[in-house]
Amino acid sequence: MSAQEPTLPRAHGPSVLGANMRTTPEDFLVEELPGFEPSGSGEHLLLTIEKRGMNTAFAARRIAEWAGVGEVAIGYAGLKDRNAVTRQRFSVHLPKRVAPDLATLETSGDNEHLRVLEHTWHARKLPRGALAGNRFVLVLREVAGAREAIESRLQSIAARGVPNYFGEQRFGREGDNVANAMAMFAGRRVRREQRTLLLSAARSELFNRVLASRVQSASWDQALDGEVWLLDGSRSVFGPEPFNDELAQRLAAFDIHPSGPLWGKGELRSQGDAAAVEVAALSGDDAAALRAGLEAEGLKHERRALRLKPTDLAWDWLDGDVLQLAFSLPPGTYATVVLAELGDVRALGRSG
């Protein structure tokens, strides 16, 4: 099972709907959930920006031009798509604490806009990952499927969560990042920034294969012998250790999650049945080449939760065949994997 294939195995059963997404950017609203309170003082201007029709890198360049600084002076916590309405923070290093007129940064047009929602000063540059998560409001149009079945599936997702796959965005527009990673491991020279992207794609491909195997055996949200546990909302892991009533209660309460490997050097932390699944899922020649390449790059083994639980999941039928979904996800997870558990959701607008 390859991450570039149209669908990875679903945990909740066959598709219950077909729908179109991103008919307009307004149908895909993403709002960063702040990871900290601004200090109110310092040399970094912290901007909360709403943008449409531009991705994060494009907005960062525009902010740098507006401020008269290099792009290295701009910080942001996460990457957001172009074909969406997104709200996110940017920081601008202005040592003299003199900012140009904010009104001159704002733009408005038929295809794109940028508005400043809030601004304040902060002591540090905004680092990548400095967010608590993202809140999504998504509109699906031309929904085909029985409403009762769709709502039943949504209730199951709310109660049980979904497999925490890496989304298709990780693998490139044409799904070729893994092939490019293989070529890089074989000796092709790549730019430093591309190297980071390709290493992430290779790791994500291997993780998705392990998770797909656990979904197929219905163990993606269950304990296996030799399981390594990941604490909810953190990167902290523990185990393996004997499964007992306390762990079962914590598993049911979503306080801990089964985990899968983000491949690197060293021995797998998992043991027993859990390790056997991971080894079997990654036993093919192409998987072996990806594993060897990651190990040669010096990456160390890490773990990622196998399941993902959307919080505050709500839905509303705006019209007979228009469904609005709202939910929040932690950093590093993908709204598209939630939609995939519903069925075939076609993205009419391209992200980037």
Residue 39 CA to residue 25 CA, distance in Å, equals 33
Residue whose tokens read 């990167």: 235
Sign of the Cα pseudo-torsion (186, 191, 196, 197, in order): negative
Residue 243 CA to residue 274 CA, distance in Å, equals 13
81 counts as catalytic = yes
> Reduced to 3 DSSP states, what percent helix, strand and coil does the chain have, rounded to the nearest 5?
30, 30, 40
Q: 232: closest CA among 219, 221, 243, 245?
A: 221
Phi, psi torsion values for 201, nearest 5 degrees: -65, -40
Q: 54-87 b/e with 16+ CB inside 10 Å = b?
A: bbbeebbebbbebbeeeeebbbbbbebbbbbbbb
Residue whose tokens read 């250790």: 241
Residue whose tokens read 């049980």: 160
Helical axes 177-185 vs 285-296, angle rounded to 10°: 60
DSSP symbols for 162-178: EE-PPPGGGG-TTS-HH
End-to-end CA distance of the chain: 25
CA geometry: angle at 213 spanning 134 and 298, to 5°?
A: 70
Residue 64 CA to residue 67 CA, distance in Å, equals 5
Q: Exactly one of 27, 81, 245, 273 is catalytic; name it.
A: 81
How far lies 317's CA from each of 19, 147, 217, 302, in Å? 13, 9, 34, 41
The answer for 253, left when phi > 0, alpha when psi is -120 to 50, beta otherwise, is: alpha
Do residues 62 and 118 make contact, with C-beta atoms less than 8 angstroms apart?
A: no
Active site residue ranges:
81
